[in-house]
Every structure is written in C-alpha cells, then in structure tokens.
C-alpha cells in the first residue's frame, strides 16, 4: 500500500468509525500493515442472510423476512442520505446482510465501499460487486450512483420472497422441460406481477399462511428497484417506506423492465444446457468498458454478467 493509498484508507476509516445506525455493523478496529489492511466488525451470531435463506434447515417465516428486508433497506438508506459523506455500498447481496439472535439486521462490508463527497452525486470506478446483483450501469458507459445499490437490493428482495437464488442451477435442473424457459426468477416475477398472481411466487417452504397483499407489495417494490434507468428507481428511503407501508407503493414501469428478458436469454443462450450438461459453464466472456476513478476506461473481459459468482474479491489499494 503506497503512501497515498494508506492516507485514503485512513480517511475512509475516520468516516466509517463515526457511523452509528442500528442497521449497520459497528467497526471495532482496523489494521494497516505493509500491503495489507483489515477491518474488524462486531460479531453477528446468526451469520449472513444467505445462510438462513438458501440452506437446509428451519426456513425463515414471512414476518421475519419482511423484517429483514425493512432493516436492510433502512441501513442502506442511512448510508446514502444519513451520513456527511454519501456511501455507495457497491456489493449489496444476502451475504452482506447479517443477522443475530435479537432480530438484529445489519448491513456489512460497506467499509471499503465508495465515499462520495457532499458536492458529488456519482462517480466512475472499476467494476466491483457480485454478478447476479450488478446494475446495468456497471456494464455500460454510465456513472455509479446510490441507485446502483437500489438495483442490487431489488434482486435481494426477490430472493427473500422466493427463498432461492434468482438463478439457481440446482432449482433449474429440477424444473420440467416445459418450464425451463422460466428459470430466471426476475422474469417470472414480472410475468406474475402483470397477471397479479403473486401467490405463485411464494417460497414453497413457507407452509404457514402468508399475507398475499404483503407479497405483492414486496414484488412491486423489487421490480421498481430493477428499472433499467436509474432515475426511475426509488431512493432507498422510499424503498423502506414502501416496505413498511408508510408510503404508497409505486407501480412498476413495464417498459423499463424489458431488459430482464434480454438477461434471461443471456442465461439460456450461453450453450450450457446442451448435450454436455454443465460443461463449459462460465467460459463465455463479454467485453465491457470499465471506468477507473480518474475517468479513464479500459476493456474488461468478463464472464457472463448474470452468473452468481463473486467478482469483488479482496480489495487492495
């Protein structure tokens, strides 16, 4: 880590250490030695949301899922508008939503996110995040804003309802052949929204009665978050209000969701479901323009945008 990098790291630590919110993990300490840096956060004994949502065991009931969604939304809203420096998380996903036995819900891994000065509204940065949750602007010549986190949160909301990854090979392989074109859950959710058949989107593990009206509300909010144009997406403050029921839920703009069908075709068109089964998966790459913090660009050869593999990895300066 160079002198400039160390200075920037310590500056970020100074900002992050002063952040206090019930839905954000607390920074307990840090270490910056040589080329390595480490952040130490409070312990959350139930682990991350993905462990409770996707793995075998007692499923989260609907009321707890809604509580988690609202808490995570509140945490992100504070990062975006409650701090002196706006913080764009850049990697919103179930793995970065932590839980504890006291029904605590806290956003994690925002320590190395992007800080935005008060006089800024957006930035150019190198690609970071996790495929499957990335907003379209990561892969176009577009600036990254707080609405980039909103898109990722919309993907998380759908997974909270469904109880599975939006694109799960295991669940896809169990589908009958006639249903496999519907393997990309955001497209399924859009179709069922248009038909107002929200009951067909519920996680089958939820045996107890759930509130269909609440399911519909969450699906609508999720689809609004997934609007292709960032300016059509709600703020995280509005998302939290709609999930809580204190704000009227927006009606999704269908014309702004047509990109989802292209993403679904991207899944089905990768030639990974042919005679060779899963052979060749993730071998196809896409050339994408990525922007560095100084605005310069370069071409990145990325595997298929929609897979759920992690892109972020360790973030060293």
pLDDT for the residue numbered 58? 84
Assess whether pLDDT exceeds 70 at residue 297: no
Q: What percent of the chain has pLDDT over 90?
A: 50
Looking at per-residue pLDDT, the higher value among 85 and 189 belongs to 189
Nearest alpha carbon to residue 79 among 42, 37, 109 = 109
Q: Residue 300: pLDDT above 90?
A: no
Q: Which residue has the higher pLDDT, 168 or 109?
A: 109
Residues 243-279: tens digit of each pLDDT? 999 999 999 999 999 999 888 876 655 533 333 333 3
**Residue 52 confidence (pLDDT):** 94
119 catalytic residue (yes or no): no
Q: Which residue has the higher pLDDT, 110 or 148?
A: 148
Token reading at 189: 């959710």
Mind spelling out the 3-state secondary structure of the chain?
Answer: CCHHHHHHHHHHHHHHCCCCCCCECCEEEEEEECCEEEEEECCCCCEEHHHHHCCCCCCCCHHHHHHHHHHHHHHHHHHHHCCCCEEECCCCCHHHEEECCCCCEEECCCCCCEEECCCCCCECCCCCCECCCCCHHHHCCCCECHHHHHHHHHHHHHHHHHCCCCCCHHHHHCCCHHHHHHCCHHHHHHHHHHHCCHHHHCCCCCCCCCCHHHHHHHHHHHHHHCCCCHHHCCCHHHHHHHHHCCCCCCCCCHHHHCHHHHHHHHHHCCCCCCCCCCCCCCCCEEEEEEECCCCCEEEEEEECCCCCCECCCCCCC
**Considering only 56-70, 242-256, 291-305, which range has the smallest mean pLDDT?**
291-305
Q: pLDDT tens digits, residue range 44-57? A: 999 999 999 998 77
pLDDT the model gives residue 273: 34
- Pick the range with the lowest mean pLDDT from 30-34, 63-67, 182-186, 302-306: 302-306
**Residue 97 exposure: Cα atoms within 13 Å on the Cβ side:** 27
Distance (Å, whole) CA 11 – CA 317 = 13
Q: Which of 91, 109, 149, 203 is catalytic?
A: 91
User: Is the pLDDT higher at 299 or at 188?
Assistant: 188
Mean pLDDT of the chain: 78
Confidence of residue 220 (pLDDT cuts 50, 70, 90): very high
Q: State how far the Cα of 53 lies from the Cα of 205, in Å rounded to an integer.
A: 10
Look up tokens 């560095």; give the residue: 292
Give yes or no for a contact between 78 and 85, defined as CB atoms under 8 angstroms apart: no
| Closest of 38, 146, 157, 5 to residue 93, by C-alpha | 157
The tens digit of pLDDT for each residue in 76-129 reads: 999 999 988 888 998 999 999 999 999 999 999 875 556 555 555 445 555 567
Question: What is the reported pLDDT for 150?
Answer: 98
pTM of the model: 0.79
Mean pLDDT check: name the lowest of 33-47, 108-122, 189-203.
108-122
Domains and CATH numbers, the chain: 3-303 (1.10.510.10)
């Amino acid at each position: 880590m160079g002198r400039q990098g160390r200075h920037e790291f310590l500056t970020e630590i100074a900002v992050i250490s002063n952040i206090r919110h019930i839905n954000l993990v607390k920074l307990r300490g840090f270490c910056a030695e040589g080329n390595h840096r480490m952040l130490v956060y409070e312990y959350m004994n139930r682990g991350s949301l993905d462990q409770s949502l996707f793995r075998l065991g007692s499923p989260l009931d609907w009321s707890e899922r809604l509580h988690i969604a609202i808490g995570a939304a509140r945490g992100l809203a504070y990062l975006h508008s409650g701090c002196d420096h706006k913080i764009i998380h850049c990697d919103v996903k179930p793995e970065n939503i932590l839980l504890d036995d006291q029904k605590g819900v806290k956003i994690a891994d925002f320590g190395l996110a992007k800080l935005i000065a008060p006089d800024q509204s957006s930035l150019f940065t190198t690609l970071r995040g996790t495929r499957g949750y990335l907003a379209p602007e990561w892969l176009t010549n577009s600036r990254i804003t707080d609405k980039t986190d909103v898109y990722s949160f919309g993907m998380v909301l759908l997974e909270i309802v469904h109880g599975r990854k939006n694109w799960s090979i295991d669940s896809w392989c169990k589908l009958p052949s006639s249903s496999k074109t519907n393997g990309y859950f955001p497209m399924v959710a859009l179709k069922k929204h248009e038909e107002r058949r929200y009951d067909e989107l519920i996680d089958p593990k939820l045996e107890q009665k759930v509130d269909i009206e609440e399911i519909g509300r969450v699906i609508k909010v999720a689809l609004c978050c997934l609007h292709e144009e960032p300016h059509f997406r709600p703020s995280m403050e509005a998302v939290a209000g709609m999930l809580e029921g204190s704000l009227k839920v927006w009606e999704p703009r269908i014309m702004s969701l047509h990109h989802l069908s292209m993403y679904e075709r991207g899944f089905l068109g990768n030639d990974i479901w042919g005679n060779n089964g899963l052979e060749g998966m993730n071998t196809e790459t896409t050339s994408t323009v990525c922007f560095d913090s100084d605005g310069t660009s370069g071409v990145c050869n990325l595997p298929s945008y929609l897979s759920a593999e992690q892109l972020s990895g360790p973030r060293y300066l």
